[in-house]
Amino acid sequence: MPNLSAELSTVVVVGSGIAGASAAQTLRSEGFRGRVVLIGDEPALPYRRPTVSKDFLSGATAAEKTTLKPDSFWEEREIELITGATAVGLDTGRKRLTLSSGETLQFSALLLATGGKARRLDGVSGANVFTLRSMADADSLRASIRRTGSLLVIGGGLIGCEVAATARSLGAEVTVLERDPSLLSRIVPPEVSTMIASLHAENDVDVCTDVALSSLDVSDDGSARAVADDGRSWNAGTVLVSVGTVPEVTLAVAAGLRVHNGITVDGQFRTSADGVYAAGDAANIPGARDDERYRSEHWNGAQAQGIAAAQSILGKPTPFTDVPWGWSNQYGHTVQFAGATRFDDDYVIRGSIADRDFTAVAVREGMPVGVIAVGRPKDLRTVRTMIARGGAVDRAALADESVALTDVLAGEREGRVAAAR
């Protein structure tokens, strides 16, 4: 493997979210002395996006408390942070990036860390209809919730559920409309969905499932009326459309890069163009198995990818074996999840879902492939290690609370060693 770092003079990072910021930081911590430019189209310093649906939306945390690092951090490391600037043109042949200001930047390597954007619903728009991705979105949404006192959330996924909980803390009447039969059905089993629905019910959120929306009308005064195919209807002053995330690939597509549900990269975060890399929510990366690819939509995954991409740019690639994981906070409960679960997975439960203190391990073909935990961060870490390691797991031991999960993990290791002898 040639050491490319000798040929590098300028690394440009597009997108100053956690993936881009972590990459810029890693370039320096790994000893790169050339020019590092970090470009973000948002006006703020890089910040913790997960606060956007939680304490920043509620108003409990001020904008300056959400920043990843103070301004001085970037200056001291000689990372040229350009905020409020959009990269609008990428010439991969000439290795040149154009900004909306008309400025051009020559690069030896470029990282696309452009993240994602909220999916929109065709024909659904209006003064009080919002999507949520940025602090600016949260400012507008918060103001509308306060002004109107009622919120209709379309989409009962992670962000929809979090915003519902936050809006209750703002005193709003909240209704959640979910197309599927249960909340968060793409990532948690039905029992956990039921538990989350009961949390919302206890907090006076009206959760409506199996909703096939036939219309959403926004009147001139901003109030909205949603009608479902089966005749049910709802009125609210504010509407949040929270129906998923799509990768931000505008620049990549225009530059002719290979894109399929995100910017396609190999195991070293290299795109189809020489010297151009991608990481974070915008990237579609190889999974653990040869036939698997995925796009992470979680904070820690984007951070890990940014770090790994920077190492790769410096000619020091390491195998990327991260088991993706994320978390959600609702009404003071933290739900953590990891791995790649499917709706048809079989779960082994440790603890009690009803008591909101459990670890649910998804087991497929005898192997742990995913986990959901409430109030058990240590369990989550241990099961992530099991998933990364692969191999069969002892289901009875997994379910038995008297056996520590670390012992289950150690037992599996011993079993594998014994089997190999």
| Residues in region 248-267 near ligand FAD by CB under 6 A | 248, 251
Stretch that binds ligand FAD, among 46-54, 192-200, 212-220, 337-345 (CB under 6 A): 46-54
198, containing H or E segment: helix 190-202
For the chain, counts of helices (H) and of strands (E): 11, 26
Q: Rounded to 10 degrees, what is the CA torsion of 158, 165, 115, 103?
A: 170
C-alpha dist (Å) from residue 285 to 210, 218, 258, 261, 278 = 33, 39, 12, 10, 9
With CA atoms as reference, report the closest residue to 116 among 302, 268, 339, 273. Answer: 302
| For ligand FAD, the closer CB: 178 or 281 | 281
Q: How far is the CB of 373 from ligand FAD (least distance, A)?
A: 14
Query: For ligand FAD, which residue of 11, 37, 113, 243 counts as binding (CB under 6 A)?
Result: 113
Rg from Cα positions in the chain: 23
How crowded is residue 337: how many other Cβ atoms within 10 Å of its Cβ?
24
| For ligand FAD, the closer CB: 137 or 400 | 137
Q: Rounded to 10 degrees, what is the CA torsion of 177, 180, 185, 191?
A: 90
The answer to whether 280 contacts ligand FAD (rule: CB under 6 A) is: yes
φ/ψ of 114, rounded to 5, equals -85, 0
Site string for ligand FAD, 49-78 (x = CB under 6 A): xx-xx-------------------------
The answer to whether 87 contacts ligand FAD (rule: CB under 6 A) is: yes
Stretch that binds ligand FAD, among 58-66, 68-76, 111-119, 255-263 (CB under 6 A): 111-119
Query: DSSP assignment, residue 45?
Result: P
Site size toward ligand FAD, by CB under 6 A: 36
Q: Tokens 């009080």 appear where? A: 128
Site string for ligand FAD, 306-335 (x = CB under 6 A): --------------------xxx-------
The answer to whether 299 contacts ligand FAD (rule: CB under 6 A) is: yes
Residue ranges binding ligand FAD (CB under 6 A): 14-20, 39-42, 49-50, 52-53, 86-87, 113-116, 132-133, 159, 248, 251, 280-282, 297-299, 302, 326-328
